[in-house]
């Protein structure tokens, strides 16, 4: 995550990957919905379940409890009942309410009287992406990927969520080192990715991981990134650099 005043020159290898991805998949429209609190709750609901189930749980929650203040103040069992279709309801319900209570305490300290969703929007809007990412991570139950998802999809800020597809494909391509875990990868991408590339790169790495670069038996023979892939070449970019330096 960077500010608009910190231009980034991407590594040559990343630039090549980005060009190949956009040639294969195009340029997706980046249209944030400006609802970070809805996005935060939705991302918590999406953990360990399908998009269909988490979407259903979200709709049931906002139908039963139409405001985030109502979700915050409801008995935990009522929230769990509303989101039961998303799985792990007894875990996710207190996690959602704890996040809402944390934001409420911050709001009260500032004597802010806006709806809770508006409060979070303005707290994020006044921060640079890196600071906004760290702020979200200070909320209980919000990890690096959840924070990045909220910033990118709901606020239109350049933060790269690293899910299992992004992590796997990035390792195989040699964009991150073999020992870099998903949490560390957020920091790596923040250093090397121009802000205007973040959304497109994220969307295309996920698409590529789902359609071509499968966890088991990747379809290398059909891969538009084959000429730039460290996995297909049998040696990582980091290993190549190490060999050349000796």
Torsion of CA 111, 114, 117, 121, to 10 degrees: -80
Comparing CA positions, the residue from 140, 101, 137, 54 lying closest to residue 148 is 137
What does the alpha-carbon distance between residue 60 and residue 8 come to, in Å, rounded to a whole number?
Answer: 42
What does the alpha-carbon distance between residue 119 and residue 200 come to, in Å, rounded to a whole number?
Answer: 29
Comparing CA positions, the residue from 185, 179, 148, 149 lying closest to residue 167 is 185
Active site residue 4: no
Catalytic residue among 4, 125, 126, 145: 145
Chain-centroid distance of CA 198 in Å reads 11
Q: Catalytic residue numbers?
A: 145
């Amino acid at each position: 995550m960077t500010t608009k005043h910190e231009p980034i020159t991407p590594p040559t290898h990343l630039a090549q990957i980005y060009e190949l991805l956009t040639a294969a998949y195009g340029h997706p429209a980046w249209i944030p919905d400006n609802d970070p609190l809805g996005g935060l709750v939705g991302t918590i609901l999406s953990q360990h379940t399908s998009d269909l189930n988490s979407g259903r749980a979200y709709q049931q929650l906002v139908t039963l409890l139409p405001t985030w203040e109502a979700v915050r103040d409801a008995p935990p069992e009522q929230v769990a009942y509303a989101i039961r279709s998303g799985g792990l309801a007894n875990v996710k319900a207190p996690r959602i309410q704890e996040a809402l209570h944390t934001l409420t305490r911050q709001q009260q300290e500032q004597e802010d009287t806006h709806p809770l969703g508006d409060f979070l929007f303005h707290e994020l809007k006044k921060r640079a992406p890196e600071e906004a990412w760290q702020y979200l991570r200070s909320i209980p139950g919000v990890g690096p990927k959840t924070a990045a998802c909220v910033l990118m999809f709901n606020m239109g800020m350049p933060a790269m969520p690293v899910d299992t597809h992004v992590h796997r494909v990035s390792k195989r391509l040699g964009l991150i080192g073999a020992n870099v875990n998903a949490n560390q990868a957020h920091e790596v991408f923040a250093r090397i990715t121009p802000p205007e590339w973040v959304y497109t790169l994220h969307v295309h790495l996920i698409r590529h991981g789902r359609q071509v670069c499968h966890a088991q038996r990747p379809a290398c023979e059909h891969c538009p990134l084959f000429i730039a892939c460290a996995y297909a070449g049998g040696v990582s970019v980091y290993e190549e650099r190490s060999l050349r330096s000796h």
